[in-house]
Amino acid sequence: MKKITLVVPCFNEQEALPIFYREATSVMKEIEYEYELLFINDGSKDNTLKILKEIANTDKNVRYISFSRNFGKEAAMYAGFCNADGDYVTVMDADMQDPPSLLIDMLKIIETGEYDSVATRRVNRDGEPPIRSWFAKRFYSLINKISDADIVDGARDFRLMKREMVNAIVAMGETNRFSKGIFGWIGFRTYWLPYENTERVAGTTKWNFWSLFKYAIDGIINFSEAPLDIASWFGIAMTFLAFIFLILIIVRKLCFGDPVAGWASTICVIVFIGGIQLFCMGVMGQYIAKNYSESKHRPHYIVAETNKLNVEEIN
């Protein structure tokens, strides 16, 4: 019998966890697959770990890996992929925004053999602040223009994947992870399943506007070198403008003499160019900083405790 692993990153999910567990288990009982619920406790400060241990004591299909601190959802998903042993693997949020009942349809589609993964895409952004939706839309159209990773607007991390695809993700061992980009970059045949967005059942979102903004910048830096090109083009355009300006000044001097004027405009130009230079240095700094953190080869996460066999404590 084929096995399916549900990877569930959890960060302070004590309210939502029991609801998710009940739902997911009842869906899994409906289908004829072996299954494993692999919860990743990402340094929760509430009773998440306690609840996980209680569930694991009564249900042999439940495994948990608990981190030594909060490493972020990306690290939690990576830990799940590295330690999942199912033939099919899926990532799901613990807050029921990824409805477990969809798994039944997803399994049917993947079993046809025509696709290597079934991914979900929300068709509406109800329950989200309009400003967040606006920025999200701009982000997706921008990143698709400037990178070769194919990132679909509204794509969730919730997707069912075959083992080959999971192996490819595990092989992408970069420290700065942006999973939506990684899924797109590795390729494979993906079926997009649209569904209506729902609000989380309990607890609160772990993202605020700035953390999402930083995540979007990470996505761009990790999957595109276009900002570096833009910085170079700025430089070239400025040199060209300065050259024209120089010719104009020489011509003016020859025709009209050299009255001392134009202090204000000179300062404006200096400040403008200084600003662009700092901006370009900042862009380069972003790439160098990413390079620096990659070169340290720090572990993606540190495991404090687990009930799963063969989990490396540091990865």
Three-state SS for the chain is CCEEEEEEEECCCCCHHHHHHHHHHHHHHHCCCEEEEEEEECCCCCCHHHHHHHHHHHCCCEEEEEECCCCCHHHHHHHHHHHCCCCEEEECCCCCCCCCCHHHHHHHHHHCCCCCEEEEEECCCCCCCHHHHHHHHHHHHHHHHHCCCCCCCCEEEEEEEEHHHHHHHHHCCCCCCCHHHHHHHHCCCEEEEEECCCCCCCCCCCCCHHHHHHHHHHHHHHHCCHHHHHHHHHHHHHHHHHHHHHHHHHHHHHHHCCCCCCHHHHHHHHHHHHHHHHHHHHHHHHHHHHHHHHHCCCCCCEEEEECCCCCCCEC
Task: Show the binding pattern over residues 36-55: x = contacts ligand UDP (CB under 6 A), - = does not.
Answer: ------x-------------
Nearer of residues 11 and 78 to ligand UDP, judged by Cβ: 11
Task: Show the binding pattern over residues 143-172: x = contacts ligand UDP (CB under 6 A), - = does not.
Answer: ------------------------------
Q: Does 9 bind ligand UDP (CB under 6 A)?
A: yes
Nearer of residues 51 and 280 to ligand UDP, judged by Cβ: 51
The only residue of 12, 66, 90, 97 in contact with Mg ion, by rule CB under 5 A = 97
Q: Which does 207 bind (CB under 5 to 8 A by kind): ligand UDP, Mg ion, none?
A: ligand UDP
Q: Does 200 bind ligand UDP (CB under 6 A)?
A: yes
Task: Show the binding pattern over residues 73-112: x = contacts ligand UDP (CB under 6 A), - = does not.
Answer: x--x----------------xxx-x---------------
Q: Does 222 bind Mg ion (CB under 5 A)?
A: no
The only residue of 61, 70, 176, 286 in contact with ligand UDP, by rule CB under 6 A = 70
CB of 305 to ligand UDP, least distance (A): 16
- Contact region with ligand UDP (CB under 6 A), list: 142-150, 200-208, 239-247, 265-273: 200-208
62-67 sheet: strands from edge to edge: 190-195, 117-122, 155-162, 88-91, 3-10, 34-41, 62-67, 303-306
The only residue of 53, 125, 206, 290 in contact with ligand UDP, by rule CB under 6 A = 206
Nearer of residues 98 and 116 to ligand UDP, judged by Cβ: 98
Interacting residues with ligand UDP (CB under 6 A): 9-11, 13, 42, 70, 72-73, 76, 93-95, 97, 200, 205-207
Interacting residues with Mg ion (CB under 5 A): 93, 95, 97, 200
